[in-house]
Amino acid sequence: MSEAVHDQSAPASGAETRVLLIDDSKVMRKSALKMLGGDFDVVVAEDGEQGWQMIQEDSRIHVVFTDLNMPKMNGYQLLEMVRTAQDEGIRNLPVIVVTGAENDDEAKENALNQGATDFITKPFNSTDLKARAHAHANYQRTTKALQETATVDPLTGLANQRSFKDQFEKDLSFVTRHGHDIAVMLVEVDGFRELFLKIGRKGADSLVQQIAKVLVKSVRKEDCVGRMGLAGFAISLPTAGGEGATKLAERICQSVAAFKATLRGENLAITVSIGLHVPAMSTSLKADALLEKAEDCLRLATSAGGNRVQSLVDAAKAQAAAVAEAVSIDQLLAQLQKGETQPVAAALPQLLAQLKPLWNLLSAAQKTELRQQLGG
């Protein structure tokens, strides 16, 4: 652990702005404490791993200064963790990279590509250090204040998480009053962290914007699309039933998989996983509970390899439970061999309903291939 985690000499007025300095040099940490301690509440960490832990645990940190070359977790890795965090406050933290003689222009460009906010070069003086800290702390305070009242995600123009949940609650009230179905869908970019490392922050932001456009074009005017995290989205579909919502989810998967993206001549596979939940109608529908079930489906889709839809349709389950006896594939095949086509044809709808969960596990590409095989 660091030998000095907190500057106890910082005045009460400075406690409003907390600055974190991450550097494996004891001399640099002491120098920063001395230069900034009179104006700010300064905390220090001796490597990126310790710094990342402090960032996650302390929401009062306004600005981060970090070295690039450190043990355990270097500055590039720290930037990756910050810029790909699910927490919006962490994701938007100003991170100022402290560079030295060993850091060439390529190193600085890489840091900028990973989301560095600014640079300051060693040896720095107290005036430059304080100016950077004040400027970015003021910006961070303003940004946080705006985020607390905002309803729109600034990157995509979609509803933000707070606004989406408010609208979803309204949609639930509407369908409950009128006896309609509702579906909720969670969409997440597959392997986004790995993509971020390849294409950098600007490329990742552009990708999120493109997928947001696909979602908006795919839904109806009465539906609500929101951004729920770094590369996650949610869609509320009032009056949509299981079949229609599932087809929509499959179309979204296919549209994203059709993206043509290359990096230095290498084709990049861009896909999404979707968790879909269609609850049985009830007077006690709770938004958080429905979103949790959709999230469970999303995890199943992701763990199965991604680029697929995993759905939970409670209404269909209730209907299937009312069926007294399941259809046996072996029995139908035996009847078909005997030439008993009429009872086989009558049982097909029930059989297909039983097989639907297996169909939903297939990726969009697998479904297309199977359709082609059946068509042949």
Joined tokens for residue 283: 């007077």
3-state secondary structure 191-243: CHHHHHHHHHHHHHHHHHHHHHHHHHHHCCCCCEEEECCCCEEEEEEECCCHH
Tallying the residues shown for the chain, one arrives at: 376
320 — phi, psi (to 5°)? -65, -35
**CA 6 – CA 8 distance, rounded (Å):** 6
| pTM exceeding the 0.75 threshold for the entire prediction | no
List the one residue out of 266, 357, 265 whose CA is nearest residue 312. 357
Joined tokens for residue 168: 């979803």
User: CA of 26: how far to CAs of 16, 21, 37, in Å?
Assistant: 25, 11, 16
Instruction: Note whether 81 and 50 are within 8 A (CB).
Output: no
Question: What is the model's pLDDT at position 326?
Answer: 57
Question: What is the model's pLDDT at position 146?
Answer: 63
Q: Measured on CA atoms in the order 117, 123, 126, 127, is the torsion positive or negative? A: negative
Instruction: Note whether 267 and 230 are within 8 A (CB).
Output: no
Instruction: Note whether 133 and 40 are within 8 A (CB).
Output: yes
**What angle, 0 to 180 degrees and rounded to 10, lies between the N-to-C axes of helices 75-83 and 192-218?**
20
List CB contacts of 355: < 8 A, sequence separation 6 or more.
Answer: none
Other Cβ atoms within 10 Å of 204 Cβ, number: 22
> How would you write the pLDDT of the chain (376 residues) with one tens digit per residue?
334 344 433 333 344 788 999 998 888 888 888 888 888 889 999 999 999 999 999 988 999 999 998 988 999 999 999 998 888 888 889 999 988 766 677 888 888 888 898 888 877 778 888 888 888 888 777 766 666 667 899 899 999 999 999 999 999 999 988 888 999 999 999 999 888 888 888 889 999 999 999 999 999 999 999 999 889 999 999 999 899 999 999 999 999 999 887 767 778 889 999 999 999 877 678 999 999 999 999 999 999 999 999 999 885 444 444 443 456 777 778 877 887 776 667 677 777 777 777 788 888 888 888 887 877 5
The CATH class, in words, for 12-149 is alpha beta
List CB contacts of 266: < 8 A, sequence separation 6 or more.
Answer: none
| Fold type of domain 161-320 | Alpha-Beta Plaits (3.30.70)
Tell me the three state secondary structure of residue 162: helix
Domain boundaries, the chain: 12-149, 161-320, 323-376
Residue given tokens 């460009």 in the structure block: 109
**Maximum C-alpha span of the chain:** 92
Dihedral, 187, 191, 196, 199 alpha carbons, nearest 10? -100
